[in-house]
Amino acid sequence: MIAEATHIDQRLEPLLREVSDPEIPVLSIMDMGVVRYAQLEGEQAHVKITPTYSGCPAMDVMSVEIKAALQEAGYDAEVELVLSPAWTTDWITPRGRAALEDYGIAVPLEADADKSALMGGKRIVECPQCGSKNTKVVSAFGSTACKALFQCEDCLEPFDYFKCLK
């Protein structure tokens, strides 16, 4: 259940990049930071992934899709779920952030973006539609475990905010 620091075999990297989060199809699992380890030994690939939230139902799907993607390339994959170190929103890559924002999901930015943003204390979450920071939290719990529901007070559009987890 414990994974060492990230290690990704360069031969597997492009294959894993093709796998996306089933609930956020624009986001590769590599950019989401859930793949912690990938190593090829002969035909056998060992992959370790970590959940964003403990109960994330997408993990099983990701595991199946990783196996399918690697199988297509002729590898037999073994996917293990690890819990430590625990995932943090800091592991979303800059490319992942850009993809999420294009998709209409705001991303936690600053180090202090965590709970103050969700408590409505500070208005720091930018609307992915119009860029305004005049936004308010509607609910700290959103459409999936990893998201909160926000609304922009300027363009009035509701949007998802990728809940900060540190």
Partner 1 sequence: MAMQEDLYNYILGVADNSLILGQRLGELCGHGPSLETDIACTNISLDLFGQVRSYYQYAAKIKGGEETEDTIAFLRKERQYRNILLVEQPNENFAYVIARACYFDLFHELFLLELMKSTDETLAAIAHKSIKEVRYHKLFSTEWVKRLGDGTEESQQKMQQAVDDLWPYTEEMFLPAQVEKKMAEAGIGVDIVKLKEPYYRSLTQLLEEARLRVPDNQYFQKGGKQGIHTEHMGYILSDMQYMQLAYPNMEW
Q: Please, what is the minimum distance in Å from the beta carbon of residue 6 to partner 1?
A: 16
CA distance 94 to 32: 10
Q: Which of 7, 95, 115, 136 binds partner 1 (CB under 8 A)?
A: 115
Site string for partner 1, 73-102 (x = CB under 8 A): ----------xxxxxx--------------
Q: Please, what is the minimum distance in Å from the beta carbon of residue 88 to partner 1?
A: 8
Q: Please, what is the minimum distance in Å from the beta carbon of residue 67 to partner 1?
A: 17
Q: Contact at 8 Å (CB) between 116 and 128?
A: no
CA distance 25 to 47: 20
Restricting to residues 37-76, which ones interact with partner 1 according to CB under 8 A? 51, 53-57
Residue 156 CB neighbour total at 10 angstroms: 10
Q: Contact at 8 Å (CB) between 87 and 52?
A: yes
Q: Where do we find the tokens 């998802």?
A: 160
What one-character DSSP code corresponds to residue 23? Answer: T
Residue span binding partner 1 (CB under 8 A) among the ranges 6-14, 20-28, 95-103, 111-119: 111-119
135-139: strand order across its sheet: 105-106, 158-162, 147-152, 135-139
Restricting to residues 1-20, which ones interact with partner 1 according to CB under 8 A? 1-2
Binding-site size for partner 1 (CB under 8 A) equals: 28
Judged by the rule CB under 8 A, the positions of this chain that interact with partner 1 are 1-2, 51, 53-57, 83-88, 115, 118-119, 138-143, 145, 149, 163, 165-166
